[in-house]
Amino acid sequence: MSGSTAWDRLGRHLHETQLLGSIQSTLYWDQNTRMPSGGAAWRGEQLTLLARQLHQRQSSAVYAALVAEARADWQSQIDAGDLSEVERQERGRNLELLELDLRRQQRQDPDLVAALATAKAKGYDCWQQARSSSDFPLFAPALEHLISLRQEQARQLDEDRGCWETLAQPFEPDLRLSRLLELFAPLRRRLPELLQQVQKAPRPRSLDWDLSEQQQQRLCSQLLEEWGRDPAITSVAESPHPFSITLGPRDFRLTTRVVSGQPLSCFLATAHEWGHSLYEQGLPTASHQWFAWPLGQATSMAVHESQSLFWENRVARSEPFAQRWWQRFQAEGAAVDSPASLWRAMNPIAPGTNRVESDELSYGLHIMIRTDLELALLEEGLPVRDLPAEWNRRYQELLGVTPLDDAEGCLQDVHWSEGLFGYFPSYLLGHLVSAQLSEAMATAIGSPEEHVARGDVSPLLAWLREHVHPVGRALNAEGLVQQVSGRPLSSDAFLAYLESKLECLAAAA
């Protein structure tokens, strides 16, 4: 490794930090795809050790000096007129993001970092057991512990933000809770109204046919092949919860799962996770935008989700997609006899108790419930023991359904078991971002549906690779949407898309 400028030295430090971070991610990947349950305790210790090491590196005086040196170097190069405007901006943005993260790392007590890593691993293990026996009291102590550790973390971070908002920053940089509530307000009004209309002619979620694991996997392979998967840099496995993760600059992984009785679940999850992966694969790689630098990283979970939702909802669930694919589904044994029958099967609209399997309309309400409950748990003193009752009450109110048990209710999601609070809203923001970016795309190159109808999605990917993916962290989510669409993020595009789709579905019923 040559180069001895302050910038190069900082780069080498970040490179090694990224090596450690991606080792952590590899352990996480293994934990979710292959590790036997008996490995949980030791894996927890491994992850705690790495979390300590990473925190130590990212908060060390050595690292702080490297960042300060690079900042001084940047300034003196500007003074000497040695940097182009683009270089000045890009390096400046990298430094700004590194300094922000450095301050956050420095403010956290190493013991808290280690305790959190341990509590996450234990929480995850405990949640798995609790969910399989639908035994919330079994999980409650772990959740209480995670909440108190995360509250302590927010106190230590000591930002000009409430607890929830502080914890949401890593997922949605710069997000304000007030802005989130403003963005969600029209949805809070409109989604229940739309749901009421739809319920006059509900579109049932369950299908009267199924596909074997092999059949589903063959369809998923065809999809990824058609969408240009390169097996030299991507790998697919199975896990209880589908996810996408990047383990190296040329090592992208995704997982799916086959759900009995839901023959389209794995296919749609594949489309979804592939969208996440395409975003990661399209992040900038030039010099100081690379993998280990902030500019080479995903800017927010909402933008990430916008990319997965684009491929899942705008492409795979579209009418022209069904037109092109229904015969392949039929050939694998699916009981579909027309494009319309596959399209209808792809687009159930019926409120249920499960977020992951929910439709595009009720999805937002699942997120509102979680957001409200996170605020209640973290900031308003809701006792953990009251969570199941509160959960069920809100589901009845907003969606008109009640979970059979806590496994189907407040134990359904993994997030809280890993201490991830402040994450859920990104999913719904992702719907808003996706819709607004899709409008901009349609104006520029024609609607996604037109391209799908022509059987060539490559212009869609090319447009995303030009306007969205390479931005990295140069802009936050709202900045990206403003730049691409020319106006601030709002719920307008999403609600317009949703209303139009519901109309079409009603017409096709």
CA dihedral 283, 472, 159, 391 (to 10 degrees): -60
**Residue 446 identity (one-letter amino acid):** G
**Rounded to 5 degrees, what are φ and ψ at 317?**
-95, 10
From the list 28-36, 78-86, 471-479, 490-498, the region that binds its own copies by CB under 8 A is 28-36
By CB under 8 A, name the one of 12, 155, 241, 250 that touches its own copies.
Answer: 250
In whole angstroms, give the CA distance from residue 307 to residue 330.
28
Per-position DSSP letters for 238-284, written without gaps between them: E-SS--EEEEETTEEEEEE---TT-TTHHHHHHHHHHHHHHHHHTS-
By C-beta, is 10 or 350 nearer to its own copies?
10
Rg (C-alpha) for the chain, rounded Å, is 23
In whole angstroms, give the CA distance from residue 335 to residue 210.
8
Other beta carbons within 10 angstroms of residue 367's beta carbon come to 22
The contact mask relative to its own copies for 50-79 (x = CB under 8 A, - = no) is x-----------------------------
**Residue 28 identity (one-letter amino acid):** Y
End-to-end CA distance of the chain: 63
Strands 251-256, 244-248: pairing kind: antiparallel
- Told to check if 487 binds its own copies by CB under 8 A, we report no
User: Six-digit token pair at 257?
Assistant: 């799962």
- Told to check if 49 binds its own copies by CB under 8 A, we report yes
Cβ atoms 448, 311 nearer than 8 A? no
From the list 63-71, 91-99, 219-227, 242-250, the region that binds its own copies by CB under 8 A is 242-250
Closest CA to 370 of 421, 295, 433, 331: 421
By C-beta, is 16 or 386 nearer to its own copies?
16
- Told to check if 235 binds its own copies by CB under 8 A, we report yes
Cβ atoms 97, 288 nearer than 8 A? no
In whole angstroms, give the CA distance from residue 233 to residue 96.
31
- Told to check if 237 binds its own copies by CB under 8 A, we report yes
User: Six-digit token pair at 109?
Assistant: 């007590």
- Told to check if 86 binds its own copies by CB under 8 A, we report no
In whole angstroms, give the CA distance from residue 432 to residue 182.
13
In whole angstroms, give the CA distance from residue 120 to residue 48.
9
CB of 300 to its own copies, least distance (A): 24
- Told to check if 221 binds its own copies by CB under 8 A, we report no
By C-beta, is 38 or 81 nearer to its own copies?
38
CB of 52 to its own copies, least distance (A): 10
Return the ∠ at Cα 317 (arms to 261 and 202), rounded to 5°: 65
- Told to check if 16 binds its own copies by CB under 8 A, we report yes
Q: Please, how many CA atoms are within 13 Å of residue 266, restricted to the half-sphere of its CB?
A: 28
- Told to check if 332 binds its own copies by CB under 8 A, we report no
Give the SS3 label for residue 333.
coil
From the list 26-34, 81-89, 125-133, 471-479, the region that binds its own copies by CB under 8 A is 26-34
- Told to check if 331 binds its own copies by CB under 8 A, we report no
By C-beta, is 43 or 473 nearer to its own copies?
43
> Is 450 among the catalytic positions?
no
- Told to check if 340 binds its own copies by CB under 8 A, we report no
Strands, E assignment, 288-418: none
CB of 131 to its own copies, least distance (A): 17
- Told to check if 128 binds its own copies by CB under 8 A, we report no
- Told to check if 234 binds its own copies by CB under 8 A, we report yes
**Rounded to 5 degrees, what are φ and ψ at 235?**
-140, 145
From the list 12-20, 110-118, 129-137, 399-407, the region that binds its own copies by CB under 8 A is 12-20
By CB under 8 A, name the one of 5, 12, 45, 450 that touches its own copies.
Answer: 45
By CB under 8 A, name the one of 12, 19, 444, 458 that touches its own copies.
Answer: 19
By CB under 8 A, name the one of 74, 227, 252, 391 that touches its own copies.
Answer: 252
By C-beta, is 22 or 362 nearer to its own copies?
22
CB of 185 to its own copies, least distance (A): 44
By C-beta, is 33 or 447 nearer to its own copies?
33
What number of residues does the chain have?
A: 509
- Told to check if 82 binds its own copies by CB under 8 A, we report no
- Told to check if 38 binds its own copies by CB under 8 A, we report yes
- Told to check if 483 binds its own copies by CB under 8 A, we report no
Q: Which of 273, 319, 360, 478 is catalytic?
A: 273
Active-site annotation, residues? 273
Q: Name the residues that contact its own copies, by CB under 8 A.
A: 16, 19-20, 22-23, 26-27, 29-30, 33-39, 41-43, 45-46, 49-50, 230-235, 237, 247-253
